[in-house]
Amino acid sequence: MALAPTSPHPPDTAPTPTTRPSGEARRPKASSEPPEGNRERAKGRDRLWVAAFLVPFLLLYMGFTLWPLIATVYYSFFDWSGSGPLDNFVGGDNYSRILGDPLFWQAVVNTLLFAVGTTLIKLPLSLLAALVMTRKWLRAKRALRTVFFAPLIIPVAMAGLVFTYLLNPSNGALNSALHGLGLTDGTTDVFANRWTAMLTLVLISVWQVFGQYMIYWMAALQNVPDELYEAAELDGASEWQKLTRITLPMIRPVAVVIVMLALVNAMHVFGLVVTLTGGGPGTSTYVVSYFIYKQAFGSMPFAYGYASAAALLFSVMAFLLVTSQGLFVRRAQKTRKEYGV
């Protein structure tokens, strides 16, 4: 039986309460804005409590986010080693050197490759896992959730060290297993080549954060009303049709946000590179955060000014990337409101 056509795109007009499915009453109402001029404000002593709860966060925010940002901008115009007076103003010299530094651009390319690579793998996989985890017939959900989430609890550096030993071609467990099965000669070094090293970094990162994105997807899936599935069931829809005609369209607004989060988080990669590859072989797995770290703390004397300029330049690039995605996010936010999810 053909399924009644449903458009994957949101309706042109927002559905009115009378045309919405009957489960509408059970869906939490979107909070409505009070009329202008009628907004509730904290009064009297309550204001003090509002301030008391906000001040610690503001202090931390200013101390650990705003101040370092301002300081970084300032330092980027100096040739400064991090100690001693800030007296060697070089203007834009640091920036012009960075723009001409092939290692910086290699780090940028690697970072983008890593971000795109991890996102392309972890999001579909974690969505699949979330879809399975939200099935009613699945047993031991809690145990499975713990298993998937557990790698996230391991500190990144520790995970990197563990895999350094597991993947070591001399006596690592993986190599021994592959050699025992006759698949390799026992000397396969995944870190000997740029592309296998990058792929290894991507896969280990996916393994570590998989659980986190599975939770995000599960939260998104829980906002899809059951009534839609029931209605589709009545219409004789297959599982694939339910997935492609109901689930994916309904979670699309949230998916855009998850994709943006995934990309931005992946661009922060650092701990795995330090522990697994050290930027090697040679400099072929340098990422931007590792480049900044090496410039800031690896040079002697430290090159704080140069590292600050690199950090700022990459922040601008990341900001442009995120801003360009912002268009999709805004559209998604609008669609979410229309769908009421």
Partner 1 sequence: MGTGHRAGATRIGRLALAPLLLAPLLAGCGGSSGSSGTTLKVWDYSAEQTDFHKKAAEEFHRQHPDITVQWQSIAQDEYKRTLPLAFQSGQGPDIFYWSENGPLAMSQLLNQKWIQPLNEGSALPASFTKRWPEGSFMDGVNQLDGKTYAFPFSESTYWGPGYMFLNKKVFGDAGLDTAKPPKTWAELKSTCARIKAKTKAYCIASPTKDVDFQRIFYALAAGEFTFNDLFFDYRKGTFSLAEPQAQKVFAFIQELKKDGYLAPGTNDKNFSRQQFATGQAGIIMDGTWTPSVFKSLGMDSSQYSVAAHPVPDSGAKGALWSQPDGNKYWVSAKTKQSKAAWTFMNWLTQPDGYFAKQYLEGGFGTLAFADNARYIKDPAMRQIMGIADKPGYRVDLPLPVTKCPDLVKSQAYVKAIGERPNWEYEAMSGALSGDKSLKPEAEQVVEHRQKTLTAELKKEAAQGLKVSLDCFTFPDWSYTSDYRPAK
Q: Which residues, numbered 87-146, are part of the site for partner 1 (CB under 8 A)?
A: 103
One character per residue 237-276, x = contact with partner 1 (rule: CB under 8 A): ----------------------------------------
CB of 150 to partner 1, least distance (A): 27
Q: Which residues, numbered 71-90, are part of the site for partner 1 (CB under 8 A)?
A: 81-84
Distance CA 69, CA 216 (A): 29
278 close to 56: Cβ distance less than 8 angstroms: no
Among 15, 68, 151, 280, binds partner 1 (CB under 8 A): 280
Among 202, 206, 303, 310, binds partner 1 (CB under 8 A): 303
197 vs 262, which CB is nearer to partner 1?
A: 197
3-state secondary structure string across 128-173: HHHHHHCCCCCCCHHHHHHHHHHHHHCCHHHHHHHHHHHCCCCCCH
Ramachandran assignment for 252, one of left (phi > 0), alpha (psi -120 to 50 degrees), beta (any other): alpha
> Considering the rule CB under 8 A, would residue 68 count as an interface residue with partner 1?
no
191 close to 247: Cβ distance less than 8 angstroms: no
CB of 278 to partner 1, least distance (A): 6
Dihedral pair phi/psi, residue 224, rounded to 5°: -85, 120
> Considering the rule CB under 8 A, would residue 44 count as an interface residue with partner 1?
no
Among 15, 151, 278, 340, binds partner 1 (CB under 8 A): 278
Q: Where are the beta strands (DSSP E) in the chain?
A: none
10 close to 335: Cβ distance less than 8 angstroms: yes
Q: Is the peptide bond before 5 cis (omega within 30 degrees of 0)?
A: no
Other CB atoms within 10 Å distance of the CB of residue 21: 14
Quick one: which segment of 67-75, 137-145, 301-309, 330-338 binds partner 1 (CB under 8 A)? 301-309
> Considering the rule CB under 8 A, would residue 187 count as an interface residue with partner 1?
yes
> Considering the rule CB under 8 A, would residue 301 count as an interface residue with partner 1?
yes
Size of site (CB under 8 A) for partner 1: 31
186 vs 340, which CB is nearer to partner 1?
A: 186
Q: b or e along 108-136 (b: 16 or more beta carbons within 10 Å of the residue's beta carbon)?
A: bebbbbbbebbbebbbeebbebbbebeee
> Considering the rule CB under 8 A, would residue 192 count as an interface residue with partner 1?
yes
Binding positions for partner 1, rule: CB under 8 A = 81-84, 103, 168-171, 187, 189, 191-194, 277-284, 294, 297-303
